[in-house]
Chain A
Amino acid sequence: MKAELVAESGSFRDPSGRVYELGGRIIRGIDGATAEDFEKLSREKFFIRGMEKGGIIPSTQIVSEEFSGEDFSGNVSWAGFLEHEKIPFISYPYEWSFSMLRDAALLQLGILEDAFNAGWMMKDATPYNIQWRGAKPVFIDTPSFLPRMKGEQWVSYRQFCMLFLTPLMLKGYLDINHTDILRANLDGLTPPEAACYFRGLSRFRRGVLSHIFFPATVERSIAKRERDAVPVQKRKGVIQSDAMVLGLIQQMKRLVTSINRPIGHTDWSKYELTHSYEDMDFKEKEAFVNVHSGSRHRSMVWDIGCNTGHFSKIVAKFSETVIAIDGDHDAVEQLYLRESAQENSNILPLNLNLANLSPAQGWAGSERKAFDKRGRPELVLCLALIHHMRISANIPCALFLDWLSSLKSEAIIEFVDRSDEMVIKLLANKKEQYDDYSLEIFERQVRERFEVIASQDLKGGKRRIYMLRPK
């Protein structure tokens, strides 16, 4: 049976091509000009080196009679096709920690600088063109490269500022969550919008005047002058020397590198030191996870509520890819910094509010996919999470288990009973005492939805851990 070409819902913005999935393969249809450019590009040393070092997605031009000339994207027949290596799990910049976004920005700038030195320009600068293999960023959008025209400016400078620089400055300088900003503004913040956030002395932090307030002034003056004018003034490109463009790119690299944000002591960022387990109990929990996650090799595991990733690390030994998710930015940041320092990490840390996972959004509600529609895990870890979902986020256990069972995956879940000091702490100042939250009710709800393969008491019966299989 012929595999079906399925258009990737988020790849329509660039008219020069479209990405498709064909039986697990990633195929990109490209127009004639892009095909010609790719032929030249594939001979460039910087491009070959980028693919070898892992910063650029391995891509090859393919000739396939199977779909050559076929009309499978509206009214467009593609002149050529590329095949890209498949990324295990697509993530979005509104799910990345500060250092992830910064490393993605530095990868983008590094590739741009190399491309520029070889006579190329990149037509866009969006973090959506960067994905992750484990904790290493990789650039995935090969049609972004164009031969640079003489005197051409850094054409994607504004987009870089809107989607990379401004969110980094907001988090690094003002501690405003860049993830919320990026989730709400898929094209990033315009300079006038960004300027609203910087008040008082924060305007004088490095790069704010030059890359936010100055462009905001220019844009405001253009808007004021041309709002009622027809036709608008055509702005011809000024010839920009190589030193101007390269100087600006290198200056941007130094600026991005200089934006730092120390990890604070949040609820979860020091989990390995502050968890409530005695050593022996903790080892029993580790052993349970080790035995049941190690029962067979799995392609994808999700660790929901991963903290700093202690258990992600255990399951990573038996999995191709682990998606480690937590709502605590600094815990995810710590996990990312640890994993990105390793050569071959297979853990992708993501910062998501567990009670409000990333939705489907963008054009027609499908440009950016919902978190739980981007891949199916074979195993889900929910360790010491359920009491936070029930008591902190007010999500009934039955609803959480409904969602978990909808993934059709095995699960290791830990129930934290009312006698546990962490639940006592959560309930201490609450009027609502969540009488439906008990081991007996939870276990009944679990058995209605899953087959219990194994279970074990932890912390002298204050907690219970289960290995579940979907019914």
Chain B
Amino acid sequence: MNNPIFAIVMLFSAFLVYPEMAHAYVDPGSGSVIVTTILGLVAAIGYTIRKYFYRIRRFFKKSDKSEHEPDES
């Protein structure tokens, strides 16, 4: 993750965490929704910035189409 604010949040999370093992009934994997939502939000910001960056760059350098442009969907 290259976003500095997000890295700071993660940094504090890192100091709070300690390992916990097998949970008989609770499915800790169900927290994936939370994880992918937060990571997804940050990733979406990066994705959108890159998308517009490449669009703007393409506008100025029409003949030089970048291979790294994220897919638009």
Chain A positions near chain B (C-beta within 8 angstroms): 113, 116-117, 153-155, 157-158, 190, 192-193, 195-196, 203-204, 207, 209-211, 213-224, 226-227, 232, 235-238, 240-248, 250-251
Contacts and interface: CB of A to CB of B under 8 A. Distances in A.
A238 B43 CA distance: 16
> Contact size class for B?
35 or more
Contact of A214 (B33, B39, B40, B48): B39
Given A220-B20, A238-B33, A248-B36, A213 B44 contact: no
Closest 4 pairs (CB-CB, A-B):
A244-B40, A247-B43, A247-B47, A209-B10
A246 B71 contact: yes
A154 B39 CA distance: 11
Given A209-B10, A210-B1, A217-B13, A248 B73 contact: no
B10 A223 contact: no
Nearest to B27: A232
Given A214-B13, A235-B30, A240 B39 contact: no
B70 A250 contact: yes
A244 B43 contact: yes
Interface string B11-27: 10110111111010111
7 contacts: A157-B32, A157-B36, A193-B21, A218-B34, A219-B31, A223-B26, A224-B20
Contact of B19 (A196, A232, A236, A242): A196
Given A153-B33, A247-B43, 20 more contacts: A155-B32, A192-B19, A192-B21, A196-B19, A213-B10, A214-B39, A217-B16, A217-B17, A218-B34, A219-B29, A223-B20, A224-B20, A227-B23, A232-B27, A235-B31, A235-B33, A240-B40, A245-B36, A247-B48, A250-B47
A218 B32 CA distance: 9
B73 A117 contact: yes
Contacts of B16: 217
Given A213-B10, A223-B20, A250-B70, A153 B36 contact: yes
Contacts of B20: 192, 219-220, 223-224
Contacts of A213: 10, 13-14, 17
A209 B29 contact: no
